[in-house]
Amino acid sequence: MSELQNKNSWYDADKAHHIHPFMDPKYFDKNHVRVITRGEGVYIWDAEGNKILDGMAGLWCVNVGYGRQELIDAANEQMKNLAYYNSFFQSSTPTQIELAEKLATITPQGIDHFFYANSGSEANDTVIRMARHYWSIQGKPTKRIFIGRHLGYHGSTLAATSLGGMKGMHDMGGSLLPEFEHIMQPHWYTLGAGLTPEEFGLKAAKALEDKILELGADNVAAFIGEPIQGAGGVIDPPSTYWPEIQRICKKYNILLVADEVICGFGRTGNWFGSDTYNIKPDMMPMAKGLSSGYIPIAAVGFSKEVYSVLAEGGHIAHGYTYSGHPVACAVALANINLMERDGIVEMVRDDTGPYFRKSLQQLADTHPIVGELRGAGLVAGLQLVKDKENKTIFTSEEGAGLICREHCIQHNLIMRMVDQAMVASPPLTITRDEIDEFTEKAKIGLDLTAQHFG
């Protein structure tokens, strides 16, 4: 049966048997699922035959674009050689070792040991267990609380949901565990009235100090933040924010965790968001771009100092069957090698990143329903506003974001909607011509949305 003949049975079977993440099942009472069947470069094709510009690189992850033969070959070779072996109990495989060695050369200075997991969520569960273990080894077992941020996103397991600051996720199933706290996000546009961005950056960082003092530094294990908050709407902090956070963590002896799951592997124009913001993390979870999403793999990087304590702490009672799956490690290695060979990070930093930002800045400056452009490199957020001058954001009942997202999809562009902002994170291999196409289509989506409210 051809793809086009298949599609109706896929639509029916999906509705009959498949539960989708982050989805209201009632949507399928009126609509059918969109089935994506193929990808090449920055484009994907659906079962209806539409060629769609994937402005989200899947879920912020297909950094080297679709269909890269090098990654396919790496998986194929490794599967033929050794499809699986584990890293428990003194074993390893060559690709696990070589990937750890490679990661030590590209991660920020000081990060030099790596623990493997399969997803960003598992990486963050690893962070929680290891941080508490780290303090316990040092005779400080009360240092257990994690401080994250409102609208932070760190994954969907029970612990990662608690780390994150998404109220809707906490509410589902009463998922907020004890010993997780959240402070304000550093979003000047919505929260910084009357302050310069620099003043506001210090204020948002002071919320961490206040929270530590409220809880008692002896009870706090770590602060966790994404260098740029991704799923919370691509919120890039003012320049004063991260240096002040770093200072506060040091002053109160709190571990600093930079969640690099979105920002890592070139997204912000450097290998890591921590490089872009000069953050010196103690622990660094990463996933997504590590394999460009070709295969599930994640890792947590540890600083020399943190690892030296863990190394003295005895048995590490933690691990996943697929920690360092040899096929996933082979694909991740091939992905990093390809990024280095093609100078992809430099291209984002020096060429396509600035070009993308310039195009979107023009849109933000001139479009009546865009309030601000956020982000860095090839990750961007466009805030939708009904009153540009007074910075009045559309309400979720008005649903401008959803309307805009639908118009974009109708014009074969995938952008995502977060809290009445349109966000984008295209493959890092996007060319200038493809950026032009992206911007034209995004403008059509915005124009039609503006007309809807006009």
Footprint on this chain of ligand PLP (rule: CB under 6 A): 59, 119-121, 124, 153-156, 226, 230-231, 259, 261-262, 287
Residue nearest to ligand PLP (CB): 120
Nearer to ligand PLP, 42 or 234 (CB): 234
Nearer to ligand PLP, 262 or 369 (CB): 262
Nearer to ligand PLP, 223 or 394 (CB): 223
How do beta strands 180-183 and 145-149 pair?
parallel
Using alpha carbons only, what angle is made at residue 218 by residues 212 and 222, rounded to the nearest 5 degrees? 60
- Helix runs in 138-261, H state only: 158-163, 167-171, 188-191, 197-215, 241-251
Using alpha carbons, select from 340, 339, 372 the residue that is nearest to residue 357. Answer: 372
- 313 CA to centre of own chain: 31
Q: What is the DSSP letter of 66?
A: B
CB of 452 to ligand PLP, least distance (A): 29
CB burial of residue 125 (10 Å; 0-12, 13-18, 19+)? buried
Rounded to whole angstroms, the Cα distance separating 253 from 220 reads 9
Rounded to whole angstroms, the Cα distance separating 140 from 212 reads 16
Nearer to ligand PLP, 364 or 414 (CB): 414
CB of 78 to ligand PLP, least distance (A): 21
Nearer to ligand PLP, 286 or 385 (CB): 286
> With the CA atoms of 3, 9, 10 and 13 taken in that order, what torsion angle do they form, in degrees rounded to the nearest 10?
-160
Rounded to whole angstroms, the Cα distance separating 404 from 398 reads 11
CB of 43 to ligand PLP, least distance (A): 22
Rounded to whole angstroms, the Cα distance separating 372 from 21 reads 29
Nearer to ligand PLP, 119 or 292 (CB): 119
CB of 259 to ligand PLP, least distance (A): 4
Rounded to whole angstroms, the Cα distance separating 94 from 436 reads 42
Using alpha carbons, select from 236, 199, 227 the residue that is nearest to residue 372. Answer: 236
CB of 155 to ligand PLP, least distance (A): 3
Nearer to ligand PLP, 282 or 434 (CB): 282
CB of 397 to ligand PLP, least distance (A): 26
Nearer to ligand PLP, 21 or 194 (CB): 21
Strand pairing partners for 393? 385
Nearer to ligand PLP, 153 or 265 (CB): 153
CB of 283 to ligand PLP, least distance (A): 13
Amino acid letter, residue 114: F
Given a contact cutoff of 8 angstroms between Cβ atoms, the answer to whether 327 and 369 are in contact is: no
CB of 172 to ligand PLP, least distance (A): 16
Rounded to whole angstroms, the Cα distance separating 291 from 74 reads 11
CB of 287 to ligand PLP, least distance (A): 5
